[in-house]
Amino acid sequence: MATTIRLPDSMVQEAKALAAVSMRSVPKQIEYYYTLGRIADDNPDLPMSFIKEILSAKAEMDDGNVTPFEFEN
């Protein structure tokens, strides 16, 4: 369900600029930052770079862009 929320203009402008660089829409950029913040809040010991790598790996898996690792016997 979509909901309209009010955000400071400065926050929206910053999200807009970063969305363009990341090739996301402004709402998707704000959703991305929400997700990062939520994960960081739940896992304060994890570095932000590690959280971003986890999200990137999850996106690759969701897109089916993975190759199973084969263990040697």
Residue-wise pLDDT tens digits, 7-46: 999 999 999 999 999 999 999 999 999 999 999 999 999 9
> Is 55 a member of any domain?
yes
> Is 73 a member of any domain?
no
Domain range for 54 is: 24-64
Query: Largest Cα–Cα distance in the chain?
Result: 58
> Is 3 a member of any domain?
no
> Is 19 a member of any domain?
no
Whether 66 shows a pLDDT value over 90: the answer reads no
Q: Tell me how many domains the chain contains.
A: 1
CA torsion through residues 5, 50, 71, 63, sign? positive
Please give the pLDDT value at position 14.
Answer: 95
Query: In this structure, how many other beta carbons lie within 10 angstroms of the beta carbon of residue 52?
Result: 13
